[in-house]
Structure 1
Protein backbone atom coordinates (compact mmCIF):
# COMPACT_ATOMS: atom_id res chain seq x y z
CA UNK A 1 0.00 0.00 0.00
CA UNK A 2 1.41 3.37 -1.06
CA UNK A 3 0.38 6.30 1.13
CA UNK A 4 0.88 10.02 0.76
CA UNK A 5 1.07 10.90 4.45
CA UNK A 6 0.67 14.66 4.13
CA UNK A 7 -1.75 16.56 1.89
CA UNK A 8 -4.34 19.30 2.26
CA UNK A 9 -7.75 20.43 1.01
CA UNK A 10 -9.28 23.84 1.53
CA UNK A 11 -11.95 26.29 0.44
CA UNK A 12 -10.89 29.91 0.09
CA UNK A 13 -14.29 31.07 1.35
CA UNK A 14 -13.40 29.59 4.75
CA UNK A 15 -9.98 31.24 4.84
CA UNK A 16 -10.71 34.98 4.77
CA UNK A 17 -7.72 36.77 6.26
CA UNK A 18 -5.76 33.52 6.45
CA UNK A 19 -2.92 32.08 4.40
CA UNK A 20 -2.56 31.70 1.40
CA UNK A 21 -2.54 35.25 0.10
CA UNK A 22 -3.55 36.10 -3.49
CA UNK A 23 0.05 36.58 -4.56
CA UNK A 24 0.61 32.84 -4.04
CA UNK A 25 -1.17 32.19 -7.32
CA UNK A 26 -0.41 28.43 -7.67
CA UNK A 27 -2.32 27.67 -4.46
CA UNK A 28 -4.78 30.55 -4.26
CA UNK A 29 -7.91 28.60 -5.14
CA UNK A 30 -10.08 25.82 -3.76
CA UNK A 31 -8.53 22.36 -3.58
CA UNK A 32 -10.82 19.36 -3.22
CA UNK A 33 -10.73 15.58 -3.85
CA UNK A 34 -11.36 15.81 -7.63
CA UNK A 35 -8.10 17.77 -7.88
CA UNK A 36 -6.14 15.10 -6.03
CA UNK A 37 -7.52 11.89 -7.49
CA UNK A 38 -5.83 12.15 -10.92
CA UNK A 39 -2.44 12.70 -9.25
CA UNK A 40 -2.86 9.61 -7.10
CA UNK A 41 -3.91 7.45 -10.04
CA UNK A 42 -1.11 8.70 -12.29
CA UNK A 43 1.52 8.05 -9.62
CA UNK A 44 0.30 4.76 -8.16
CA UNK A 45 -0.58 6.16 -4.74
CA UNK A 46 -3.39 4.32 -2.96
CA UNK A 47 -4.42 6.77 -0.29
CA UNK A 48 -3.60 9.85 1.71
CA UNK A 49 -3.52 11.41 5.15
CA UNK A 50 -5.45 14.69 5.08
CA UNK A 51 -3.87 17.29 7.37
CA UNK A 52 -5.34 20.45 8.89
CA UNK A 53 -4.44 23.96 7.75
CA UNK A 54 -6.57 26.12 10.05
CA UNK A 55 -6.74 26.37 13.82
CA UNK A 56 -10.47 25.78 13.89
CA UNK A 57 -12.89 23.02 14.76
CA UNK A 58 -14.77 23.81 11.56
CA UNK A 59 -11.73 22.87 9.48
CA UNK A 60 -11.49 19.52 11.26
CA UNK A 61 -15.20 18.87 10.66
CA UNK A 62 -14.72 19.79 6.99
CA UNK A 63 -11.92 17.22 6.65
CA UNK A 64 -13.81 14.50 8.49
CA UNK A 65 -16.78 15.05 6.17
CA UNK A 66 -14.52 14.66 3.14
CA UNK A 67 -12.96 11.51 4.59
CA UNK A 68 -16.40 9.99 5.10
CA UNK A 69 -17.17 10.59 1.41
CA UNK A 70 -13.87 9.60 -0.22
CA UNK A 71 -12.24 6.26 0.48
CA UNK A 72 -8.78 7.35 -0.67
CA UNK A 73 -8.56 9.61 2.42
CA UNK A 74 -7.30 6.97 4.83
CA UNK A 75 -7.01 9.28 7.80
CA UNK A 76 -7.34 12.85 9.05
CA UNK A 77 -5.00 14.89 11.21
CA UNK A 78 -7.19 17.56 12.73
CA UNK A 79 -6.89 20.43 15.17
CA UNK A 80 -7.97 21.09 18.72
CA UNK A 81 -6.98 23.74 21.24
CA UNK A 82 -4.80 21.53 23.39
CA UNK A 83 -4.32 24.01 26.23
CA UNK A 84 -7.91 24.57 27.34
CA UNK A 85 -9.30 23.01 30.50
CA UNK A 86 -11.66 20.79 28.51
CA UNK A 87 -9.04 19.73 25.94
CA UNK A 88 -8.86 16.10 27.14
CA UNK A 89 -12.63 15.75 26.69
CA UNK A 90 -12.40 17.28 23.22
CA UNK A 91 -9.55 14.92 22.32
CA UNK A 92 -11.57 11.88 23.35
CA UNK A 93 -14.61 13.11 21.42
CA UNK A 94 -12.55 13.55 18.27
CA UNK A 95 -10.87 10.18 18.75
CA UNK A 96 -14.28 8.54 18.47
CA UNK A 97 -14.27 9.38 14.75
CA UNK A 98 -12.68 6.39 12.99
CA UNK A 99 -11.15 8.66 10.35
CA UNK A 100 -9.41 10.89 12.92
CA UNK A 101 -5.85 9.63 13.38
CA UNK A 102 -4.03 12.57 14.93
CA UNK A 103 -3.98 16.23 15.92
CA UNK A 104 -1.74 19.10 14.89
CA UNK A 105 -1.42 22.42 16.67
CA UNK A 106 0.13 25.18 14.56
CA UNK A 107 3.27 25.35 16.68
CA UNK A 108 5.29 27.03 13.91
CA UNK A 109 3.40 30.27 14.60
CA UNK A 110 4.05 30.12 18.36
CA UNK A 111 6.94 31.02 20.66
CA UNK A 112 9.92 28.67 20.77
CA UNK A 113 8.90 27.36 24.22
CA UNK A 114 5.19 26.84 23.45
CA UNK A 115 5.46 23.08 24.00
CA UNK A 116 7.02 23.59 27.44
CA UNK A 117 3.73 24.85 28.85
CA UNK A 118 2.37 22.17 31.23
CA UNK A 119 -1.15 23.18 30.19
CA UNK A 120 -0.70 20.97 27.11
CA UNK A 121 0.13 17.84 29.09
CA UNK A 122 -3.41 16.60 29.96
CA UNK A 123 -4.41 16.77 26.28
CA UNK A 124 -1.21 15.02 25.20
CA UNK A 125 -1.89 12.25 27.70
CA UNK A 126 -5.46 11.94 26.42
CA UNK A 127 -4.11 11.67 22.87
CA UNK A 128 -1.77 8.84 23.83
CA UNK A 129 -4.52 7.03 25.72
CA UNK A 130 -6.88 7.42 22.75
CA UNK A 131 -4.35 6.16 20.20
CA UNK A 132 -3.99 9.51 18.43
CA UNK A 133 -0.73 10.74 16.94
CA UNK A 134 0.83 14.18 17.32
CA UNK A 135 1.93 15.95 14.13
CA UNK A 136 4.61 18.46 15.13
CA UNK A 137 4.42 21.42 12.76
CA UNK A 138 7.55 23.11 14.06
CA UNK A 139 10.48 25.22 12.94
CA UNK A 140 14.09 24.59 13.95
CA UNK A 141 13.74 27.01 16.88
CA UNK A 142 11.08 24.74 18.41
CA UNK A 143 13.17 21.56 18.36
CA UNK A 144 14.66 21.84 21.89
CA UNK A 145 11.19 22.26 23.40
CA UNK A 146 9.83 19.46 21.20
CA UNK A 147 12.54 17.22 22.67
CA UNK A 148 11.43 18.08 26.20
CA UNK A 149 7.77 17.52 25.23
CA UNK A 150 8.54 14.13 23.67
CA UNK A 151 10.45 13.07 26.78
CA UNK A 152 7.48 14.01 28.96
CA UNK A 153 5.16 11.90 26.79
CA UNK A 154 7.01 8.73 25.75
CA UNK A 155 3.73 6.93 24.98
CA UNK A 156 2.67 9.57 22.45
CA UNK A 157 3.60 8.84 18.83
CA UNK A 158 5.04 12.05 17.34
CA UNK A 159 6.03 12.88 13.77
CA UNK A 160 8.00 15.98 12.78
CA UNK A 161 6.32 17.57 9.77
CA UNK A 162 8.58 18.66 6.91
CA UNK A 163 11.71 17.76 8.90
CA UNK A 164 11.09 20.98 10.90
CA UNK A 165 11.59 23.12 7.77
CA UNK A 166 15.36 23.55 7.63
CA UNK A 167 16.36 26.70 5.76
CA UNK A 168 17.66 24.99 2.64
CA UNK A 169 17.46 28.18 0.59
CA UNK A 170 19.89 29.86 3.01
CA UNK A 171 22.26 26.91 3.03
CA UNK A 172 20.90 25.28 6.18
CA UNK A 173 19.93 26.11 9.76
CA UNK A 174 22.67 26.07 12.43
CA UNK A 175 21.97 23.41 15.03
CA UNK A 176 19.21 21.71 13.03
CA UNK A 177 21.12 18.46 12.51
CA UNK A 178 22.14 18.22 16.17
CA UNK A 179 18.63 18.92 17.43
CA UNK A 180 17.14 16.41 15.01
CA UNK A 181 19.69 13.83 16.14
CA UNK A 182 18.61 14.28 19.76
CA UNK A 183 14.97 13.80 18.78
CA UNK A 184 15.74 10.76 16.64
CA UNK A 185 17.19 9.13 19.75
CA UNK A 186 13.68 8.82 21.19
CA UNK A 187 11.72 5.78 19.97
CA UNK A 188 8.40 7.64 19.83
CA UNK A 189 9.76 10.15 17.30
CA UNK A 190 9.23 9.92 13.54
CA UNK A 191 9.87 12.33 10.69
CA UNK A 192 8.08 13.21 7.47
CA UNK A 193 10.04 13.38 4.25
CA UNK A 194 7.91 16.27 3.01
CA UNK A 195 7.95 20.00 2.47
CA UNK A 196 11.65 20.27 1.67
CA UNK A 197 11.23 21.72 -1.81
CA UNK A 198 9.17 24.59 -0.43
CA UNK A 199 12.07 25.52 1.86
CA UNK A 200 14.66 25.24 -0.91
CA UNK A 201 14.13 28.46 -2.88
CA UNK A 202 16.12 27.99 -6.07
CA UNK A 203 17.99 25.02 -4.57
CA UNK A 204 15.47 22.43 -5.78
CA UNK A 205 17.78 20.03 -7.60
CA UNK A 206 18.23 16.51 -6.32
CA UNK A 207 21.77 17.29 -5.16
CA UNK A 208 20.45 20.25 -3.14
CA UNK A 209 17.97 18.02 -1.31
CA UNK A 210 20.21 14.97 -0.99
CA UNK A 211 22.21 16.13 2.09
CA UNK A 212 18.98 16.56 4.02
CA UNK A 213 17.43 13.26 3.02
CA UNK A 214 20.68 11.44 3.73
CA UNK A 215 20.78 13.03 7.16
CA UNK A 216 17.17 12.05 7.86
CA UNK A 217 17.70 8.46 6.73
CA UNK A 218 20.81 8.28 8.87
CA UNK A 219 19.02 9.63 11.94
CA UNK A 220 15.59 8.02 11.77
CA UNK A 221 16.47 5.00 9.67
CA UNK A 222 14.03 3.82 7.05
CA UNK A 223 11.60 2.55 9.68
CA UNK A 224 10.62 5.96 11.08
CA UNK A 225 10.72 8.08 7.92
CA UNK A 226 7.35 8.77 6.28
CA UNK A 227 6.87 10.24 2.80
CA UNK A 228 4.37 13.00 2.12
CA UNK A 229 3.75 15.37 -0.77
CA UNK A 230 2.54 18.45 1.13
CA UNK A 231 0.28 18.99 -1.89
CA UNK A 232 -1.02 21.50 -2.88
CA UNK A 233 1.58 23.63 -1.05
CA UNK A 234 4.09 21.65 -3.13
CA UNK A 235 2.80 23.55 -6.19
CA UNK A 236 4.79 26.58 -5.01
CA UNK A 237 8.06 24.75 -5.66
CA UNK A 238 7.47 21.70 -7.86
CA UNK A 239 5.00 19.09 -9.04
CA UNK A 240 3.65 15.88 -7.53
CA UNK A 241 5.30 13.39 -9.87
CA UNK A 242 8.64 15.19 -9.74
CA UNK A 243 8.80 15.26 -5.94
CA UNK A 244 7.75 11.63 -5.66
CA UNK A 245 10.36 10.51 -8.20
CA UNK A 246 13.09 12.58 -6.54
CA UNK A 247 12.36 10.93 -3.21
CA UNK A 248 12.31 7.48 -4.79
CA UNK A 249 15.80 8.16 -6.05
CA UNK A 250 16.99 9.46 -2.70
CA UNK A 251 15.52 6.70 -0.51
CA UNK A 252 17.24 3.29 -0.64
CA UNK A 253 15.29 1.01 -2.98
CA UNK A 254 14.89 -1.73 -0.39
CA UNK A 255 13.10 0.78 1.89
CA UNK A 256 10.52 2.03 -0.61
CA UNK A 257 7.70 -0.12 0.69
CA UNK A 258 8.26 1.23 4.20
CA UNK A 259 8.93 4.92 3.51
CA UNK A 260 6.24 5.28 0.83
CA UNK A 261 3.47 3.47 2.64
CA UNK A 262 4.20 0.93 5.34
CA UNK A 263 5.52 3.40 7.89
CA UNK A 264 2.53 5.70 7.44
CA UNK A 265 0.12 2.79 7.82
CA UNK A 266 1.80 1.71 11.06
CA UNK A 267 2.20 5.20 12.50
CA UNK A 268 -1.38 6.29 11.82
CA UNK A 269 -2.83 2.83 12.55
CA UNK A 270 -4.52 2.58 9.20
CA UNK A 271 -6.86 -0.34 8.62
Structure 2
Protein backbone atom coordinates (compact mmCIF):
# COMPACT_ATOMS: atom_id res chain seq x y z
CA UNK A 1 0.00 0.00 0.00
CA UNK A 2 1.33 3.44 -0.96
CA UNK A 3 2.35 5.73 1.90
CA UNK A 4 0.03 8.75 1.77
CA UNK A 5 0.81 12.20 3.18
CA UNK A 6 -1.63 15.09 3.22
CA UNK A 7 0.53 18.23 3.21
CA UNK A 8 -2.24 20.77 3.81
CA UNK A 9 -4.69 20.35 6.67
CA UNK A 10 -5.95 22.72 9.36
CA UNK A 11 -7.28 22.17 12.88
CA UNK A 12 -9.64 24.37 14.89
CA UNK A 13 -10.23 23.99 18.63
CA UNK A 14 -13.65 24.32 20.26
CA UNK A 15 -12.05 25.93 23.32
CA UNK A 16 -11.62 29.62 22.47
CA UNK A 17 -10.43 30.47 25.99
CA UNK A 18 -7.43 28.19 25.81
CA UNK A 19 -6.91 28.98 22.11
CA UNK A 20 -8.16 32.57 21.61
CA UNK A 21 -9.13 33.85 18.20
CA UNK A 22 -6.69 36.29 16.59
CA UNK A 23 -7.28 36.00 12.83
CA UNK A 24 -5.09 37.69 10.26
CA UNK A 25 -7.13 40.46 8.71
CA UNK A 26 -9.25 40.93 11.81
CA UNK A 27 -12.12 38.56 11.06
CA UNK A 28 -12.33 34.80 11.17
CA UNK A 29 -12.60 32.82 7.95
CA UNK A 30 -16.06 31.50 7.09
CA UNK A 31 -14.91 27.92 6.59
CA UNK A 32 -13.47 27.73 10.10
CA UNK A 33 -16.77 28.91 11.55
CA UNK A 34 -18.94 26.63 9.42
CA UNK A 35 -16.92 23.40 9.55
CA UNK A 36 -14.25 23.47 12.28
CA UNK A 37 -12.31 20.25 12.75
CA UNK A 38 -10.38 19.46 15.93
CA UNK A 39 -7.14 17.52 15.71
CA UNK A 40 -8.93 14.48 17.13
CA UNK A 41 -11.51 14.74 14.34
CA UNK A 42 -8.75 15.20 11.77
CA UNK A 43 -7.10 12.02 13.00
CA UNK A 44 -10.38 10.12 12.64
CA UNK A 45 -10.83 11.53 9.12
CA UNK A 46 -7.30 10.44 8.20
CA UNK A 47 -8.05 6.92 9.41
CA UNK A 48 -11.24 6.85 7.33
CA UNK A 49 -9.31 8.03 4.26
CA UNK A 50 -6.33 5.72 4.96
CA UNK A 51 -3.92 8.67 5.08
CA UNK A 52 -0.75 7.86 7.00
CA UNK A 53 0.56 11.29 7.93
CA UNK A 54 -0.62 14.89 7.74
CA UNK A 55 1.03 18.28 7.87
CA UNK A 56 -1.05 20.51 10.13
CA UNK A 57 -0.67 24.04 8.77
CA UNK A 58 -1.32 26.98 11.06
CA UNK A 59 -4.82 28.36 10.48
CA UNK A 60 -3.77 31.99 10.12
CA UNK A 61 -7.34 33.11 9.49
CA UNK A 62 -8.26 31.82 12.96
CA UNK A 63 -5.22 32.13 15.23
CA UNK A 64 -2.85 34.49 13.47
CA UNK A 65 0.67 33.70 14.70
CA UNK A 66 -0.33 31.84 17.87
CA UNK A 67 0.56 28.28 16.89
CA UNK A 68 -0.35 26.70 20.22
CA UNK A 69 -3.06 24.39 18.89
CA UNK A 70 -0.82 23.07 16.11
CA UNK A 71 1.83 22.36 18.75
CA UNK A 72 -0.67 20.48 20.90
CA UNK A 73 -1.80 18.42 17.90
CA UNK A 74 1.76 17.44 16.99
CA UNK A 75 2.75 16.67 20.57
CA UNK A 76 -0.37 14.54 21.07
CA UNK A 77 0.23 12.49 17.90
CA UNK A 78 3.82 12.89 16.68
CA UNK A 79 3.50 9.61 14.77
CA UNK A 80 0.73 11.07 12.57
CA UNK A 81 1.14 14.87 12.55
CA UNK A 82 3.90 17.31 11.67
CA UNK A 83 3.30 21.03 12.03
CA UNK A 84 3.89 24.27 10.14
CA UNK A 85 3.91 27.54 12.08
CA UNK A 86 3.38 31.21 11.24
CA UNK A 87 5.27 34.19 12.65
CA UNK A 88 5.67 37.88 11.93
CA UNK A 89 8.81 37.74 9.79
CA UNK A 90 9.00 41.54 9.72
CA UNK A 91 9.45 41.79 13.49
CA UNK A 92 12.82 42.36 15.13
CA UNK A 93 12.47 39.12 17.12
CA UNK A 94 11.53 36.87 14.18
CA UNK A 95 14.40 34.46 14.87
CA UNK A 96 13.35 34.09 18.50
CA UNK A 97 9.81 33.39 17.34
CA UNK A 98 11.04 30.74 14.91
CA UNK A 99 13.19 29.06 17.53
CA UNK A 100 10.25 28.97 19.95
CA UNK A 101 8.03 26.99 17.59
CA UNK A 102 10.81 24.77 16.27
CA UNK A 103 11.76 23.89 19.85
CA UNK A 104 8.10 22.99 20.43
CA UNK A 105 8.35 20.34 17.70
CA UNK A 106 7.10 22.09 14.57
CA UNK A 107 8.82 21.53 11.24
CA UNK A 108 8.19 24.39 8.83
CA UNK A 109 7.36 28.07 8.44
CA UNK A 110 4.32 29.51 6.66
CA UNK A 111 4.11 33.03 5.27
CA UNK A 112 0.54 34.20 4.74
CA UNK A 113 0.28 37.01 2.19
CA UNK A 114 -3.28 36.49 0.94
CA UNK A 115 -6.44 34.55 1.76
CA UNK A 116 -10.12 34.77 2.55
CA UNK A 117 -9.54 37.33 5.28
CA UNK A 118 -6.85 39.20 3.30
CA UNK A 119 -7.86 39.50 -0.36
CA UNK A 120 -5.21 40.65 -2.81
CA UNK A 121 -1.48 40.06 -2.65
CA UNK A 122 0.41 41.68 0.22
CA UNK A 123 3.51 43.57 -0.84
CA UNK A 124 5.89 42.67 1.98
CA UNK A 125 7.14 39.28 0.76
CA UNK A 126 10.57 40.63 -0.25
CA UNK A 127 10.75 43.29 2.47
CA UNK A 128 14.33 43.48 3.76
CA UNK A 129 13.07 43.18 7.34
CA UNK A 130 12.25 39.55 6.55
CA UNK A 131 15.79 38.72 5.41
CA UNK A 132 16.97 37.40 8.81
CA UNK A 133 14.11 34.89 8.92
CA UNK A 134 14.77 33.75 5.36
CA UNK A 135 18.48 33.43 6.04
CA UNK A 136 17.77 31.37 9.16
CA UNK A 137 15.38 29.11 7.26
CA UNK A 138 17.92 28.61 4.49
CA UNK A 139 20.76 27.86 6.89
CA UNK A 140 18.73 25.33 8.89
CA UNK A 141 16.87 23.76 5.93
CA UNK A 142 13.48 24.85 7.23
CA UNK A 143 10.87 24.61 4.45
CA UNK A 144 8.78 27.73 3.89
CA UNK A 145 5.15 27.43 2.77
CA UNK A 146 3.94 30.46 0.86
CA UNK A 147 0.25 31.33 0.79
CA UNK A 148 0.35 33.79 -2.08
CA UNK A 149 -1.02 34.60 -5.51
CA UNK A 150 0.77 34.67 -8.83
CA UNK A 151 1.12 38.44 -8.37
CA UNK A 152 3.68 37.67 -5.64
CA UNK A 153 5.97 35.65 -7.91
CA UNK A 154 8.21 38.63 -8.90
CA UNK A 155 8.86 39.26 -5.19
CA UNK A 156 9.54 35.54 -4.68
CA UNK A 157 12.04 35.62 -7.55
CA UNK A 158 13.82 38.46 -5.75
CA UNK A 159 14.06 36.31 -2.64
CA UNK A 160 15.24 33.26 -4.56
CA UNK A 161 18.05 35.35 -6.06
CA UNK A 162 19.09 36.41 -2.56
CA UNK A 163 18.51 32.99 -0.89
CA UNK A 164 19.14 30.44 -3.65
CA UNK A 165 19.25 27.42 -1.34
CA UNK A 166 15.91 28.07 0.37
CA UNK A 167 13.17 25.45 0.01
CA UNK A 168 9.73 26.93 -0.61
CA UNK A 169 6.42 25.16 -1.07
CA UNK A 170 3.76 27.10 -2.96
CA UNK A 171 0.31 26.62 -1.42
CA UNK A 172 -2.24 25.96 -4.18
CA UNK A 173 0.53 26.49 -6.79
CA UNK A 174 0.28 30.22 -6.00
CA UNK A 175 -3.30 30.23 -7.31
CA UNK A 176 -2.66 30.46 -11.07
CA UNK A 177 -5.41 31.49 -13.48
CA UNK A 178 -6.08 28.37 -15.55
CA UNK A 179 -9.46 29.12 -17.14
CA UNK A 180 -7.89 29.98 -20.50
CA UNK A 181 -6.70 26.41 -20.87
CA UNK A 182 -3.68 25.24 -22.92
CA UNK A 183 -1.08 26.55 -23.48
CA UNK A 184 -1.75 28.23 -20.10
CA UNK A 185 -0.32 31.61 -21.02
CA UNK A 186 -1.83 33.18 -17.89
CA UNK A 187 0.13 30.68 -15.77
CA UNK A 188 3.49 31.77 -17.23
CA UNK A 189 4.63 33.25 -13.87
CA UNK A 190 4.21 29.82 -12.27
CA UNK A 191 6.23 28.09 -14.96
CA UNK A 192 8.96 30.73 -14.64
CA UNK A 193 9.84 29.06 -11.32
CA UNK A 194 10.88 25.79 -12.97
CA UNK A 195 14.51 26.98 -13.09
CA UNK A 196 14.63 27.20 -9.28
CA UNK A 197 15.04 23.65 -7.90
CA UNK A 198 14.17 24.72 -4.35
CA UNK A 199 10.61 25.61 -5.38
CA UNK A 200 8.09 22.85 -4.69
CA UNK A 201 4.40 22.84 -5.59
CA UNK A 202 1.63 22.03 -3.14
CA UNK A 203 -1.05 20.62 -5.40
CA UNK A 204 -4.29 21.00 -3.46
CA UNK A 205 -7.90 20.22 -4.17
CA UNK A 206 -8.35 23.95 -4.73
CA UNK A 207 -5.91 23.63 -7.63
CA UNK A 208 -7.76 20.59 -8.97
CA UNK A 209 -11.01 22.53 -9.10
CA UNK A 210 -9.32 25.52 -10.74
CA UNK A 211 -7.86 23.15 -13.34
CA UNK A 212 -11.41 22.10 -14.23
CA UNK A 213 -12.57 25.66 -14.92
CA UNK A 214 -13.17 27.20 -18.34
CA UNK A 215 -11.12 25.68 -21.15
CA UNK A 216 -8.79 23.87 -18.74
CA UNK A 217 -8.92 20.20 -17.82
CA UNK A 218 -7.02 18.47 -15.01
CA UNK A 219 -5.44 16.10 -17.53
CA UNK A 220 -4.05 18.92 -19.66
CA UNK A 221 -2.80 21.06 -16.79
CA UNK A 222 -1.30 18.41 -14.55
CA UNK A 223 0.48 16.68 -17.40
CA UNK A 224 2.07 20.06 -18.21
CA UNK A 225 3.00 20.66 -14.57
CA UNK A 226 4.52 17.19 -14.29
CA UNK A 227 6.50 17.65 -17.50
CA UNK A 228 7.86 21.02 -16.35
CA UNK A 229 8.55 20.45 -12.64
CA UNK A 230 8.78 16.67 -12.25
CA UNK A 231 6.96 14.63 -9.59
CA UNK A 232 9.80 15.07 -7.08
CA UNK A 233 8.75 18.73 -6.75
CA UNK A 234 4.99 18.17 -6.39
CA UNK A 235 3.11 17.18 -3.22
CA UNK A 236 -0.63 16.74 -2.68
CA UNK A 237 -2.63 18.48 0.05
CA UNK A 238 -6.37 18.30 0.66
CA UNK A 239 -6.89 21.76 2.22
CA UNK A 240 -9.27 19.99 4.63
CA UNK A 241 -11.49 21.34 6.16
CA UNK A 242 -11.17 24.67 4.31
CA UNK A 243 -12.07 22.66 1.22
CA UNK A 244 -15.66 21.43 1.35
CA UNK A 245 -16.16 17.68 1.52
CA UNK A 246 -14.99 14.78 3.63
CA UNK A 247 -11.32 13.87 3.68
CA UNK A 248 -11.94 10.46 2.01
CA UNK A 249 -13.87 12.25 -0.76
CA UNK A 250 -11.13 14.88 -1.21
CA UNK A 251 -8.49 12.18 -1.54
CA UNK A 252 -10.68 10.27 -4.00
CA UNK A 253 -11.19 13.46 -6.03
CA UNK A 254 -7.46 14.04 -6.18
CA UNK A 255 -6.69 10.47 -7.18
CA UNK A 256 -9.32 10.56 -9.91
CA UNK A 257 -8.12 13.89 -11.32
CA UNK A 258 -4.48 12.76 -11.35
CA UNK A 259 -5.12 9.20 -12.54
CA UNK A 260 -3.73 10.04 -15.99
CA UNK A 261 -0.25 10.40 -14.48
CA UNK A 262 2.24 7.50 -14.24
CA UNK A 263 2.23 5.31 -11.12
CA UNK A 264 5.69 6.44 -9.99
CA UNK A 265 4.66 10.08 -10.26
CA UNK A 266 1.53 9.44 -8.21
CA UNK A 267 3.59 7.73 -5.50
CA UNK A 268 5.75 10.84 -5.26
CA UNK A 269 2.86 13.31 -5.33
CA UNK A 270 0.84 11.48 -2.69
CA UNK A 271 3.70 10.79 -0.30
CA UNK A 272 7.27 10.61 -1.49
CA UNK A 273 7.86 14.29 -2.19
CA UNK A 274 6.44 15.33 1.18
CA UNK A 275 8.95 13.11 2.93
CA UNK A 276 11.84 14.90 1.22
CA UNK A 277 10.45 18.33 2.12
CA UNK A 278 9.68 17.38 5.74
CA UNK A 279 12.30 14.88 6.99
CA UNK A 280 10.32 14.48 10.24
CA UNK A 281 7.82 12.42 8.24
CA UNK A 282 10.45 9.71 7.83
CA UNK A 283 10.50 9.05 11.58
Q: Name the Cα RMSD after superposition.
A: 2.9
Provide the residue aligned with 1:11 in structure 2: 13
Structure richer in helix, relative to its length: 1
Q: Structure 1 residue 83: deviation in Å? A: 0.7
Q: How does 1:141-220 map to 2 (within 5 A)?
A: 141-168=151-178, 170-171=179-180, 176-194=186-204, 195-197=206-208, 199=210, 203=213, 208-220=217-229
Provide the secondary structure at the position in 2 that maps to 1:78.
strand
Q: Which residue of 2 aligns with 1:227?
A: 236
Which residue of 50, 61, 64 maps to 1:56? 64
Does residue 88 (structure 1) correspond to residue 95 (structure 2)? The answer is yes
Q: 1:129–1:262: structure 2 CA closer, same or farther, 3 Å change rule?
A: same
The alpha-carbon distance between structure 1 residues 208 and 134, as it changes in their structure 2 partners (threshold 3 A), is: same
TM-score between both structures, scaled by the size of structure 2: 0.81
For residues 235 and 183 of structure 1, do their structure 2 counterparts lie closer, same or farther at Cα, with a shift above 3 Å needed?
Answer: same
| Distance 1:111-1:193 versus aligned 2 partners, 3 A rule | closer
Gaps of 5+ in 2: none
Number of matched pairs:
263
How far 1:140 sits from its partner (Å)?
1.2
Question: Which of residues 98, 107, 110 is equivalent to 1:104?
Answer: 110
Unaligned runs of 5+ in 1: none
2:82 is matched with 75
In structure 2, C-alpha distance between the alignment counterparts of 1:33 and 1:87, rounded to whole Å: 27
Contact 1:92 1:130 in 2 (8 A): no
